[in-house]
Chains A and B, each alone.
Chain A
Amino acid sequence: MYQTQNGNSTNQVTFRAKARETAASIIDQKYRIIIDTSALLAQGAVRTLGGDLLAAYNSTDYQATVSSRSIDHLKHLAAKQGRKQIVARLGLQTLETLSNAGHLVDAKDPYPTSGDPYDVQQLLAERFIQFQMKWRMCLITQDESLAKQVLINANTAMINQKLNVVVYKVTPEGLEEWQVNDQTSHLYLAIPPLEEIVRQFIIIPDTSALMLTNRTNESLIGTTFFNDVLLPLLRRHEKSLVVPERVRRELQKHQNCNSQYRRNQAGAAAKVLAHYEEAHCLSWVSDADELSGAGSTFADPVFIQSVIRFQNRYNLCIITQDTELAKTLLANRNNSCKNHLLLARLHQGGKLMAWEDFLDKGKKRTTNNKNPKTITQPKNLPDDQHLKNYSKHSSAQPIFNKTKRIPKNKQSSIKPFKTFIQPEPENPTPIFLNELPNEDTTVQSTQIGPVKILSRIAEGGEGTVYETDQPDIVCKIYHRDQLTHSRELKIDLMLSKEVKLHNICWPIDKVTNHDGTFVGFLMSRVNGQALSITVFAKPLLIKKFPHWHRSELISLSITILKTIQQLHKINVLIGDINPQNILVESNKKIWIVDTDSFQIEGYPCPVGTDSFTPPERQGHNYTKFLRTLDDELFAITTLIFRILFVGKAPYSSEGGGEASENIRHHRFAYGKTAEGRPPAGTWQFIWSHLHLGLKEIFTSVFQEDKRIPVGSIIRQLERAQKDISQGHSNNELFPDKPYFSKGKTVEMFCEDCPPDENLHQVGSFHYETLRQNGKNFVCTTCRAQRKLSRLTNTRNVPCGRMVSEHCEGEFTISLEKLKKLQRIGKQPWCRTCRNQIFSNPRVRNSRYQSESLCFVATATYQSESAPQVIFLRHFRDHVLMQHISGRIFIGTYHYVGPWLARCVIACPPLRTLSRWILDRIVKWLPPSL
């Protein structure tokens, strides 16, 4: 045993020596080493990397590079309980050893904007492509695919006798080299090596190749290839890249396009071309001149024609990502010609691949540039941008486009219904019936046979729903005046396809009475209570679902929306989305009833609810038009709003009126662009705590009149749900204060609250404002109370004077003042009129006198704008005031006047007398005044 141990240890020594040699040789050959995460986690890493590599580095100044993402990944694993914890710790140790010895560089790579934060594969592959032209690179990784990728890139991008790229693997015995499997690389050798291409072919890139990005949008593979790989080669061989004019035009077009993403790509591509121009390696080909294709050279056919023509003169290599273009070129390739036409595409690894191989593979690879016209949504765009793009390009079109079609579904097992634009002309012929079936009659159904009707469950405007002798089936019998042929046809249509959807009470069977006349239909019996008496009524919600929080409301919304999505997939619109038609059993279980009023094919939904109808459809007759998806989306958003706001309608605001009026006026009172103030109470706080994505949806729909598709709403709800479950958002149903970012609140005392409970959290901004204006803090409940007190103690009265052009006719006045004025017999004037009158200095000075004289006359005629009063006033101002006797008269009068006025008011006969007297006086006064 001793022997074997010895033997082992000798073997080990040998191995170690060999390993050290390998490491040393790598470093001697001046390879720069990059270490991958997988290598650090490998078995034997400590010894190989920490031992052999370190030893090899010892006498040199070189350093190995490791990505900060790898380090973070290791730290993450080391902190987490798991299989890899120990290994990760060891890996970190290794790194420490290397770093302490001064032979480690941390490449500070930023995190990718999407996907796995610790992913280094893409990063390393690109790094290799970039740097292999400058230095010799050595990658140490356990990852086979990464190794292959790097090696293959190296093989075809450069042809050199010496390998500039090597990849090693960590094994317990040391470093082992990765060999490229010849078979797989075979695929890529249909293309001659790049240098050959540069020497012998004219390279023509297409816009798609220049704008190519990789999937994570991190770096631009296209530009990396062109800048770092191709350009040096071209320079060396003094060749140029030939770029058609159409590329320049297309790039310009893309630079002006709406999508930020597209603009970035185009900008980068333009920079590449600029780079080439600087290096004098670019020649523009104007198709019109040289390739003699007149007209717009955007058109692919023209390009193709020119290319084919030029094949006769030169060897061409076209680099494009566009499949259609490639296929056409391939098809048109003239193989008998002596010149070659090479069609290449940039592969994700950043190297060229022949289109034949790519097409042969058959598998569809996704590149972001397949068709510049489709807009793919990378997932890493921030929320609002995502939404903005989506709502611009989504399937929802402007609301006045009445012919919007609902997109057909792709993978449902139910064949969708047809789309109609005009409603079917209704056949209102009633079905003649002797007697409607009711309780205890038996009716016939086609599939289930005779069904006996038992007690009545509910009655609506269209018909009555009864229990039947089948325990889980109920029957709806239409009212006599609602039984028409159209209805029968509609039910037939609904029964024509076998529709089994979750959560929807689709009709099961048609029902006729004993002589075969259609009377109604059957559907399954469901439990649950209508939304309107559960979620939409706060006291009832608390009673029936006491344990619900905001997250249950959100999951309820998601359930409802997913159900509606199913209906949209088969091209059916609900039409009348009404809280009475949605039954709630729990937050995951709902039922949509009243399905016979769905809008299917040409049969419109004959009913509607004002508060769920979009503004442009308010007042229309529901039976006369077919709803569009946009109408439905408005109703859906209103529904979700009301669920999240526990019954409050979106357009209700302070100072609003009835719901249909509010909808027509479009006053949405929440958010930064609010019109008007939100209603008093907790509703503004609910808004404040709402997830940002949801706020944007509501603002777009209710304020800006856009329509957001159901899928987006579901996504935002799911995000909100996640936020709450992770604790970032408030889960209260009725928050009592707005959302404050951390650390920005101040505690203040409310003036009105009782002493024990008057401490409140106030936002610091609000606190500052209050302090600046010298006001005290009043909490929202107390403020609402003050408002109510003001409202109950004041009245709205018409202004008595109406002399100012700014007068609004009505104004608010406190009850006490009103009563006081009424006692004196004066009419209340609004402030604008009062200011107007008393801005005149003469009037102001003589105010007392003028008022007193007006007392009697006003009291007599009961208005201050009676012609007699005006005349008398005029008389006073122009005649009496001029003479001293007049002024004495006025002075005396002002003592008597008020009393006289009061007498006149109190006593109607005296009023008549006074009127007679004053009329006489007015008549007697000289008219020249």
Chain B
Amino acid sequence: MLNNNDLKLRTEELTENPTARVPVYLVLDTSYSMKGEKINELNSALAEFVHAVQEDEMAAISAEIAVVTFGGSVTQILDFSSIERQHMPVLQANGNTPMGEAVELALDQLEQTKRIYSKMGVDYFQPWLVLMTDGEPTDSINEAVTRCRQLIMERPQKLTLFPVAIGSDANLDILGQFSPSLLPFRANAAIFRQFFSWLAKSINTVSTSNPGDTSSASFGETSFKKHQLDWETAMKQSGGS
């Protein structure tokens, strides 16, 4: 729940800024297996990401980022608000992997935010959700999967989900269930930066197009597929695992 000051700022943001919002939700695995290089790379990539979005003039006024991590418990790190006010904390790796709960929380939050946008008369693009995990979920993901699939299959598409598997231990089958239109991408720590920089640029492209363009979802998906090739090349070059 927002306290009074936050409420005031948020009201201002929503009523003063007529730009169409791009809601982006990052659902990140911070379980014990991410300890070490992976979590460090993730942290620096995230910091760069936030910085890149804040620097781009169009993205800064339209992107709304929220972050939830699942590592032991499900924690909401960042809530939806204007990116200017947001500061990405450092993530710690610990615990098991309650992926289902995290995704469900993300979906609930997205519903709620869309409802708020709609009621306050703010235009918005359909949200993007980035799911990054390096292992297997320790709770039931069926609810989450059903909901995600439902939203993605709807026309016009109500959600775009980008599944990213980190490392060789990640279970691609499970991850692949979430999005019927995109295959999970197997990444390693070396290209986190590139991935997030692509994400920032894509947000910019989407925000400069016009709200209502259904292409924001298809653009995201096509772009994701296109860039996978580049990332794979980059990974091979850096000799990652």
- B window 145-164: CB within 8 A of A: 156
Q: Are A787 and B58 in contact (CB under 8 A)?
A: no
Chain-A contact segment, one of B13-21, B98-106, B167-175: B13-21
B214 in the interface (beta carbon within 8 A): yes
A661 in the interface (beta carbon within 8 A): yes
Q: Are B208 and A784 in contact (CB under 8 A)?
A: no
Q: Decide: A792 near B61, CB < 8 A? Known: A532-B208, A609-B210.
A: no
Q: Are B118 and A657 in contact (CB under 8 A)?
A: yes
A114 in the interface (beta carbon within 8 A): no
A533–B61 Cα distance when bound, in Å, is: 10
Residues of A within 8 A of B11 (CB): 680, 781, 784-785, 788
Smallest CB-CB separation from B19: which chain A residue? A537
A660–B111 Cα distance when bound, in Å, is: 19
Residues of B within 8 A of A682 (CB): 15-16
A580–B207 Cα distance when bound, in Å, is: 11
Chain A: minimal CB distance from B15 (Å): 3
Q: Are A659 and B210 in contact (CB under 8 A)?
A: yes
- A window 211-228: CB within 8 A of B: none
A682–B15 Cα distance when bound, in Å, is: 7
Cβ contact of A680, chosen from B7, B14, B210, cutoff 8 A: B14
Q: Are B123 and A649 in contact (CB under 8 A)?
A: yes
Q: Decide: A659 near B17, CB < 8 A? Known: A533-B57, A540-B57.
A: no
Chain A: minimal CB distance from B18 (Å): 4
Q: Decide: A680 near B15, CB < 8 A? Known: A540-B61, A655-B119.
A: yes
A57 in the interface (beta carbon within 8 A): no
Residues of B within 8 A of A680 (CB): 11, 14-15, 120-121
A141–B10 Cα distance when bound, in Å, is: 73
B112 in the interface (beta carbon within 8 A): yes
A702–B123 Cα distance when bound, in Å, is: 17
Chain B: minimal CB distance from A527 (Å): 17
Q: Are A788 and B14 in contact (CB under 8 A)?
A: yes
A148–B10 Cα distance when bound, in Å, is: 76
Chain B: minimal CB distance from A699 (Å): 18
Q: Are A648 and B18 in contact (CB under 8 A)?
A: yes
A748–B170 Cα distance when bound, in Å, is: 62
Cβ contact of B15, chosen from A578, A580, A660, A681, cutoff 8 A: A681
Residues of B within 8 A of A683 (CB): 18, 121
Q: Are A792 and B15 in contact (CB under 8 A)?
A: no
Q: Are A792 and B123 in contact (CB under 8 A)?
A: no
Q: Are B120 and A539 in contact (CB under 8 A)?
A: no
- A window 619-666: CB within 8 A of B: 645-649, 652-663
Residues of A within 8 A of B8 (CB): 785
Smallest CB-CB separation from A543: which chain B residue? B57
Residues of B within 8 A of A657 (CB): 118
Q: Are A787 and B119 in contact (CB under 8 A)?
A: yes
Interface centre among A652, A660, A793, A796 (most CB of B within 10 A): A652
Interface string of A372-383 (1 = CB under 8 A from B): 000000000000
Q: Are B120 and A784 in contact (CB under 8 A)?
A: yes
A112 in the interface (beta carbon within 8 A): no
Residues of B within 8 A of A653 (CB): 121
B70 in the interface (beta carbon within 8 A): no
Q: Decide: A788 near B16, CB < 8 A? Known: A659-B210, A793-B1.
A: no
A408 in the interface (beta carbon within 8 A): no
Chain B: minimal CB distance from A78 (Å): 52
Residues of A within 8 A of B210 (CB): 578-579, 609-612, 659
A702–B124 Cα distance when bound, in Å, is: 20
Q: Are A647 and B15 in contact (CB under 8 A)?
A: no
Cβ contact of A785, chosen from B1, B7, B116, cutoff 8 A: B7
Residues of B within 8 A of A687 (CB): none
B180 in the interface (beta carbon within 8 A): no
Q: Decide: A533 near B10, CB < 8 A? Known: A609-B213, A646-B18, A661-B212.
A: no
Chain A: minimal CB distance from B76 (Å): 13
A791–B120 Cα distance when bound, in Å, is: 9
Chain A: minimal CB distance from B80 (Å): 10
A785–B112 Cα distance when bound, in Å, is: 16
A466 in the interface (beta carbon within 8 A): no
A271–B224 Cα distance when bound, in Å, is: 79
A538–B18 Cα distance when bound, in Å, is: 7
Chain B: minimal CB distance from A918 (Å): 26
A793–B2 Cα distance when bound, in Å, is: 9
A795 in the interface (beta carbon within 8 A): yes
Chain B: minimal CB distance from A735 (Å): 13
Interface centre among B2, B15, B156 (most CB of A within 10 A): B15
Residues of B within 8 A of A536 (CB): 18-19
Residues of B within 8 A of A540 (CB): 57-58, 61
B78 in the interface (beta carbon within 8 A): no
Chain B: minimal CB distance from A20 (Å): 78
Q: Decide: A658 near B116, CB < 8 A? Known: A537-B19, A788-B7, A793-B1.
A: no
A738 in the interface (beta carbon within 8 A): no
Cβ contact of B121, chosen from A530, A538, A678, cutoff 8 A: A678
A423 in the interface (beta carbon within 8 A): no
B91 in the interface (beta carbon within 8 A): no
Interface string of B1-34 (1 = CB under 8 A from A): 1100001101110111111100000000000000
A533–B228 Cα distance when bound, in Å, is: 30
B235 in the interface (beta carbon within 8 A): no
Q: Are A539 and B17 in contact (CB under 8 A)?
A: yes
A161 in the interface (beta carbon within 8 A): no
A538–B12 Cα distance when bound, in Å, is: 13
A610–B213 Cα distance when bound, in Å, is: 6
Q: Are A781 and B15 in contact (CB under 8 A)?
A: yes
A661–B155 Cα distance when bound, in Å, is: 12
Cβ contact of A611, chosen from B62, B122, B211, cutoff 8 A: B211
Smallest CB-CB separation from A790: which chain B residue? B119
Q: Are B18 and A787 in contact (CB under 8 A)?
A: no
Q: Are B119 and A792 in contact (CB under 8 A)?
A: no
A789 in the interface (beta carbon within 8 A): yes
Residues of A within 8 A of B20 (CB): 659
Residues of A within 8 A of B209 (CB): 609
Q: Are A789 and B19 in contact (CB under 8 A)?
A: no
A443–B70 Cα distance when bound, in Å, is: 55
Chain A: minimal CB distance from B211 (Å): 4
Smallest CB-CB separation from B120: which chain A residue? A680
A798 in the interface (beta carbon within 8 A): no
Q: Are B58 and A533 in contact (CB under 8 A)?
A: yes
Q: Decide: A645 near B18, CB < 8 A? Known: A537-B58, A612-B210.
A: yes
Residues of B within 8 A of A656 (CB): 118, 121
Smallest CB-CB separation from B12: which chain A residue? A781
Q: Are A795 and B112 in contact (CB under 8 A)?
A: yes
B126 in the interface (beta carbon within 8 A): yes
- B window 115-138: CB within 8 A of A: 115-116, 118-124, 126
A93–B152 Cα distance when bound, in Å, is: 87
Q: Are A652 and B122 in contact (CB under 8 A)?
A: yes
Q: Are A649 and B211 in contact (CB under 8 A)?
A: yes
Cβ contact of B126, chosen from A648, A658, A669, cutoff 8 A: A658
Q: Are A652 and B2 in contact (CB under 8 A)?
A: no
Residues of B within 8 A of A450 (CB): none
Smallest CB-CB separation from A660: which chain B residue? B212
A578–B212 Cα distance when bound, in Å, is: 13
Chain B: minimal CB distance from A837 (Å): 28
Q: Are B211 and A679 in contact (CB under 8 A)?
A: no
A622–B68 Cα distance when bound, in Å, is: 40
A-B contact sample (13 more), CB < 8 A, given A680-B120, A781-B12: A536-B18, A537-B17, A538-B16, A540-B58, A610-B213, A647-B18, A649-B18, A653-B121, A658-B124, A658-B212, A659-B20, A659-B211, A792-B116
**Which 8 A-B residue pairings sit nearest by Cβ, starting from the closest?**
A679-B121, A659-B212, A681-B15, A660-B212, A647-B18, A610-B212, A648-B18, A785-B11
Pick 18 A–B contacts, CB within 8 A, sort by A.
A530-B208, A538-B17, A538-B19, A578-B210, A610-B213, A646-B18, A654-B121, A655-B118, A656-B118, A661-B212, A679-B121, A680-B11, A734-B16, A785-B11, A788-B10, A791-B120, A792-B116, A796-B115
> What residues make up the interface of B, taking CB atoms closer than 8 Å to A?
1-2, 7-8, 10-12, 14-20, 57-58, 61-62, 111-112, 115-116, 118-124, 126, 156, 208-214
